Structure 1
Amino acid sequence: MKNRLIYTAIVAVACLLLCNNAQAQVLDKVAAVVGKNRIILQSEIEAQIASTLQNTPDADENALRCEIMEQMILQKMLVEQAERDSVVVSEEDVEAALDNRVRYFVGMLGSKEKLEEVSGKTIFQLKESYRDMTRENMMAERVQGQLLNSVKITPAEVRAFFNTIPVDSLPFFPAMVEMGQIVINPPTNPELDLYARTKLEGIRKEIVVDKKDFETMANFHSDDPGSRDNGGRYDGVSRKGGGWAPEFVAAAFKLQNGEVSPIVKTQFGYHIIQMIKRRGDEADVRHILIKAQHTSADYKAAFIKLDSIRAQLIAGKYNFQEAVGKYSQDEMSSRTGGMILDAQTNSSLMEIEKLDPAIALMIDTMQVGSYSQPQVFDNGRGDKSCRIVYMKNITKPHKANLIDDYARIQEIALQQKKSKKLLDWVAEKSPTYYVKIAPEYDSCRQLDNYVKNNK
C-alpha cells in the first residue's frame, strides 16, 4: 500500500468542489461491502480519481483505481474496529471538524457565498452531506492513531533502511539550505495603540448595550484574516494552549455561553471574545481583533535595532543562537534556535522551493555564515514584522546520503515501518471481517489481503 493516510473530510469536500460532473456521469453501483453494511460506491471511487487527476493528470488511472479502493476498504475496516473497541466521537467533535473544513474552503474560495455557488449547496446542506463521512473519518483516524502513534525508529534502523537501497536507485536531491531569522516587531505608536483600543471599546458597546450581532460585527470590523469571514469563529480553542495566546485563553475560559469578554490585549492586538460553547478543556468562540496600525517610523526603529544586532553578530560578540535567545521576538523560531524548519520533516535543512519566497530570493546574494540586511516581511498573522536572515548552510544537488539527508531518510524509513505495521494489522484482522469486492477489481492484486479469507 503506497499511501495509507486516511481520507478525511477535507478530501471529501474537495471532491465535491472538483468532481460534481464526474459523479453525475457514473451510473452508481456497489463496488465493495465491508462488514455488515458499510458500502463503497463506484461513484465515490470515480470522484476520488477525478480529484487526484486534477493535480496529477499523468497518473495511471487503473493503478489509481486499485489504490483508492484499497484505501477505502482499509478505512471501513478501521471504522468497524472503532465500533468493536467502543471508540466514541462526540457530535461536538464532528461539528467542530465540519466547521473547520468549511472555514478552510471559505478561506480558499474567498467567501461562504462562493463556496455555496461552487458546491451547489448551502453551508448547512454541505455539512449534513458530509456529517456521517466526517464521523467515520474521525473514528478511523483514532484507531489508526492508537495503532501507529507509538511506532518509533532508531538511528540503527534508519541506517539499515538506507543500506537496503541500491546505489543506482538512490534519489537525487536538489540544492538544500539551512536558514534562520531574528525577528523584531515594530514598536507601536502610543496614540495609534489608544485609537485601536478605543475603537474596540465602541464595538463592544454596540454588541453588549445596543445588542448588535457579534458575528456580523466581526465580519465587518475584525482585523483577523483567519476568522473575519467566518464571523470571528474559532472552534476547539484549548485551555492547554496549543498555539493560542495565554491571555486569550485565560479570558475565554472565564466566560459563560453567549457572554462577551472585556477587552483583552495579546501580542496580536486587542480582542473581545464571545463564548459559543464549552466542552471541558476545549471551547468554540468568536472574537474581534483590532490592531494598532504601524507608521514608517515604527519600522525604521525596528530596522535600527536589527542593524545593531547584525553588527554585533558580524563582530563576533554573539553567535547566532545566542542573539536569537537575547533579541528575537518570534516565538516559533525562537524555540528552534532561530532556524526555519521544514513542516514535513521538522528539519532545518530544506529545499529552496519550500522557503518563504522572500528568503529564497536572497540565497544568491548570501554566503554561508552571512547575515542579510533588515527587511519587512509578512509574519503569517496578518501583520508585518522585521527580520535579518542568516544562512547557516547550503548543499549542492546530490545523491541521497545519511549526512546531508538524515531527517528526510528517517521520515521515509519511519513511514515504511508504519506501513508494515498496518499491513500486519490487516493480515491479522481481515479474517474477522466480511469483505466483498466487485469482480472489476479482480486484477488489483493488493486487494487479495482483504478478501483471501472471504472467498
Structure 2
Amino acid sequence: MKQLVFLFITLLIANSVCAQELIDDEEIQQAPKKIDSTRTQNAKKVDGVAAVVGDYIVLDSDVDKEYLQLQAQGVNTKDIKSCELFGSLLERKLYAHQAVQDSLQVSDSEIRKNVDYQVEQFLAQSGKSMKELLEFYKKDDEKSFREDMFEINKTNQLAAKMQAKIVDEIEITPEEVRMFFEKIPKEERPTFGTELKVAQIVAEPKVSEEEKQRVINRLKEFKADIIENGASFRSKAILYSEDPQSGRQGGKLGSLNRDQPRMVKEFREVAFKLQEGEISDPFETEYGYHIISCDKIRGKEVDVSHILLFPQVSTEALKEAKERLEKIRQRIVEGKISFADAAREASDEKETRGDGGQLINPTTQDYNFELTRMEPELYAQIQNLKDNEVSLVLKEEDRTSKIKFKILMVTDRINEHEADYARDYLKIKKLALDEKKIKAIAKWQEEKILDTYIKISGEHRNCEFSSNWLKK
C-alpha cells in the first residue's frame, strides 16, 4: 500500500515535469548561461513560472499539486499555508540542482525499474487498465507517461542523494549528547513510550532431498527445452515461475548492478558469471531454486530474467516441525532450559539464533521495539504475553507461501517514562544527532541560496520564508 500511495502522489505531479522545461523569454534572458535556452525553442507557455532555482523551474500550479499530494496521504491541509509548500518546493529544487552540480549519479536503469514496479502495483491494486490510467492522468500514450514518471523519480533521487551527502559525515560526541540533554528544561524533556524486547525460536519444516531433486530436474528440463528445441524462456517463466511479480513479465528482473545492495549473494555470483544469451544451471537461494537467463550485458550492469520454483513441504515435515517446537517449548516452561539457550541450541533462524533469539528492530538496529510503532503482525502475536511468558506455537506463512513455526517471549519491558540520560542514551543521541544535522542543512541552504541563481516571481515574493530565498 505504501508503494501505491507513493505512485499516486507521484502521478499527481506528472504533468509538471514537462512543464518545467517551459521557461518564458524574460526568464531565459535573466537566468545565467547554464540554463540551456535550446530546450525551450518549441515550448509554449502553459503555466506561470513561480520561481527559477538553478536549472529547475517551479510553476504556479505546483503549489496546488503539493496540496493534492498531502491530501492523498490523508493529511489535513486546512492549516497549511501555500507559502510553506512553496518554500518546500524551492528546497527540493535546490537539492536536485546542486546534486547535478556535484556530479552525483543515479542509475537510470534502477529508476526505470522502479517506474515499472510503480505502474504494475498501481494497475494491480486499482483494477484499472493502462488505457484508463492514461485517460485519468490525461496522457496521450504510455511512453510519455513513463517518461514523465522517470523524470519525477530521477529528480527525487537526486534530491535525496544531495541531502544524504550533506549529513553523511556528521558525527556526534558523547559530550555533545550530554550538553544537548542538559539544555532541555526538565518540563520539556521527551517522553518515551513503552518498549519491549522480544525473542523467538523458529522451526522450519525440512524439505526432502527427493523433493529438492525433483525441482532441480524440472528446471533442467526447462533449460534443455529452450536450448535444444528453441522453446521460449519468457513463455516458460509466465507458465511455470512461482515468482508472481517477475513471472507475469516473462521472468524479467530488469537491470542488475554488480554493486547493487541487498542482492542475494548466490544470485549475484551466478548472474555475473553468465555470458550474454547464456542460461545458468539450477541453483538454490533462500527463496527457492532458480535458473537465470542473461539477456544483455552493459558494463557493470546485466539484464536478466529468471524462473523460480519452490520445493514443496510434505504434511509429515510440517507435523514434525510443529511437534519439535512444542517439545522445546515444554522444556522452557518446565524450567529445564532457558529461552535463550534453547534458541542457540535449536532455532532454525540463523539471524537470531546466536543472540538467544532476540529480534533486532530494523528501524533502530537495537533490541528495543516501541509498542506503538511495532509491526501489526508482531504486535498481535505478543500483545497478550506477560513478561517471560512463552507463547503457544504459532504458524506463519510468508509471501512465497513458505511455512514455519515459532514461539515468542517478551524478555524485557520498559514502561512509558520521561527521558533518562543513562537508560535512554541511544535515543537521546539520535535526537542530538538529528538536531546537529538540521543545523548543518540550514547552514548549507544558506550558503547555496547565495551561490545559486534564484528568481521568485509574482505574488510568491510576498511570502515570509524561513530561508533567504529573496536574498535580502
Category of TM-score, reference length = shorter chain: 0.7 to 0.9
2: CA distance, partners of 1:118 / 1:404: 55
Following TM superposition, by how much is the alpha carbon of 1:152 offset from its aligned partner in structure 2, in angstroms? 2.1
Question: Is the CA contact 1:273–1:288 (under 8 Å) kept in the aligned structure 2?
Answer: yes
AA of the residue aligned to 1:286: S
Equivalences for residues 71-110 of structure 1 within 5 A: 71-89=88-106, 93-107=107-121, 109-110=123-124
Which residue pairs with 1:179 in the alignment?
198
The CA RMSD measured in Å over matched residues stands at 3.5
- Superimposed CA distance per residue, residues 183-209 of structure 1 (whole angstroms, 9 cap, x where no aligned partner): 222111344334333333333344334
Question: Is the CA contact 2:98–2:162 (under 8 Å) kept in the aligned structure 1?
Answer: yes
Equivalences for residues 341-356 of structure 1 within 5 A: 341-356=360-375
Which residue pairs with 1:3 in the alignment?
none
SS at match of 2:90: helix
Following TM superposition, by how much is the alpha carbon of 1:393 offset from its aligned partner in structure 2, in angstroms? 1.8
Correspondent of 2:50 among 18, 31, 46:
31
Correspondent of 1:46 among 55, 64, 80:
64
AA of the residue aligned to 2:366: S
Q: Which runs of 5+ in 1 are unaligned?
A: 1-8
Which residue pairs with 1:157 in the alignment?
176
AA of the residue aligned to 1:86: S
SS at match of 1:373: coil
Following TM superposition, by how much is the alpha carbon of 1:138 offset from its aligned partner in structure 2, in angstroms? 3.3
AA of the residue aligned to 2:449: S
Q: 1:219 to 1:335 in 2, by over 3 A?
A: farther
- Superimposed CA distance per residue, residues 88-135 of structure 1 (whole angstroms, 9 cap, x where no aligned partner): 44xxx1122221243145235527984735631565433211333333
Correspondent of 1:423 among 442, 446, 453:
442
Following TM superposition, by how much is the alpha carbon of 1:321 offset from its aligned partner in structure 2, in angstroms? 4.5
2: CA distance, partners of 1:51 / 1:378: 35
SS at match of 1:350: strand
1: CA distance, partners of 2:457 / 2:184: 37
State the TM-score, normalized to the length of structure 1: 0.82
Correspondent of 1:116 among 130, 133, 136:
130
Following TM superposition, by how much is the alpha carbon of 1:282 offset from its aligned partner in structure 2, in angstroms? 4.8
Following TM superposition, by how much is the alpha carbon of 1:60 offset from its aligned partner in structure 2, in angstroms? 4.2
AA of the residue aligned to 2:195: M
- Superimposed CA distance per residue, residues 54-87 of structure 1 (whole angstroms, 9 cap, x where no aligned partner): 2233234543x33433333223223332343333
Equivalences for residues 299-318 of structure 1 within 5 A: 299-314=318-333
State the TM-score, normalized to the length of structure 2: 0.79
- Superimposed CA distance per residue, residues 21-71 of structure 1 (whole angstroms, 9 cap, x where no aligned partner): 999xxx832121112x421123333222211112233234543x3343333
Which residue pairs with 1:392 in the alignment?
411
- Superimposed CA distance per residue, residues 215-248 of structure 1 (whole angstroms, 9 cap, x where no aligned partner): 4432332222453344433356454684433322
2: CA distance, partners of 1:139 / 1:358: 34
Instruction: Verify: 1:146 aligned to 2:140, yes or no.
Output: no
Question: Is the CA contact 2:197–2:413 (under 8 Å) kept in the aligned structure 1?
Answer: yes
Correspondent of 1:14 among 8, 14, 17:
8
AA of the residue aligned to 1:119: L
Bigger shift: residues 292-301 or 417-426:
292-301
Instruction: Verify: 1:412 aligned to 2:412, yes or no.
Output: no
Question: Is the CA contact 2:109–2:255 (under 8 Å) kept in the aligned structure 1?
Answer: no
2: CA distance, partners of 1:54 / 1:131: 21
Which residue pairs with 2:36 in the alignment?
none
Question: Is the CA contact 2:242–2:307 (under 8 Å) kept in the aligned structure 1?
Answer: yes
SS at match of 2:362: coil
2: CA distance, partners of 1:42 / 1:207: 56
Question: Is the CA contact 2:344–2:355 (under 8 Å) kept in the aligned structure 1?
Answer: no
Q: Which runs of 5+ in 2 are unaligned?
A: 18-45
Which residue pairs with 1:69 in the alignment?
86
Question: Is the CA contact 1:270–1:290 (under 8 Å) kept in the aligned structure 2?
Answer: yes
Question: Is the CA contact 1:306–1:374 (under 8 Å) kept in the aligned structure 2?
Answer: yes
Bigger shift: residues 152-161 or 418-427:
152-161
Q: 1:290 to 1:345 in 2, by over 3 A?
A: same
1: CA distance, partners of 2:286 / 2:194: 36
Correspondent of 2:251 among 232, 245, 265:
232
AA of the residue aligned to 2:320: A
1: CA distance, partners of 2:129 / 2:68: 19
SS at match of 1:70: helix
- Superimposed CA distance per residue, residues 275-321 of structure 1 (whole angstroms, 9 cap, x where no aligned partner): 23445555442211100122332222112332343345456666545
Following TM superposition, by how much is the alpha carbon of 1:210 offset from its aligned partner in structure 2, in angstroms? 3.9
Question: Is the CA contact 1:274–1:287 (under 8 Å) kept in the aligned structure 2?
Answer: yes
Bigger shift: residues 253-262 or 351-360:
351-360
Q: Determine which structure has more spread, i.e. the larger CA radius of gyration.
A: 2
Following TM superposition, by how much is the alpha carbon of 1:15 offset from its aligned partner in structure 2, in angstroms? 2.5
2: CA distance, partners of 1:398 / 1:417: 25
- Superimposed CA distance per residue, residues 321-368 of structure 1 (whole angstroms, 9 cap, x where no aligned partner): 554444333344457653333333223222335444443223344222
Bigger shift: residues 401-410 or 194-203:
401-410
Which residue pairs with 1:6 in the alignment?
none
Q: 1:109 to 1:175 in 2, by over 3 A?
A: farther
SS at match of 1:262: coil
2: CA distance, partners of 1:246 / 1:341: 22
AA of the residue aligned to 2:241: S
Question: Is the CA contact 2:201–2:406 (under 8 Å) kept in the aligned structure 1?
Answer: yes
Question: Is the CA contact 2:53–2:455 (under 8 Å) kept in the aligned structure 1?
Answer: yes
Correspondent of 2:312 among 293, 318, 325:
293
- Superimposed CA distance per residue, residues 412-450 of structure 1 (whole angstroms, 9 cap, x where no aligned partner): 332222121111111122211121123433454335423
2: CA distance, partners of 1:407 / 1:119: 46
Which residue pairs with 2:239 in the alignment?
220
Identity within the alignment, % = 28
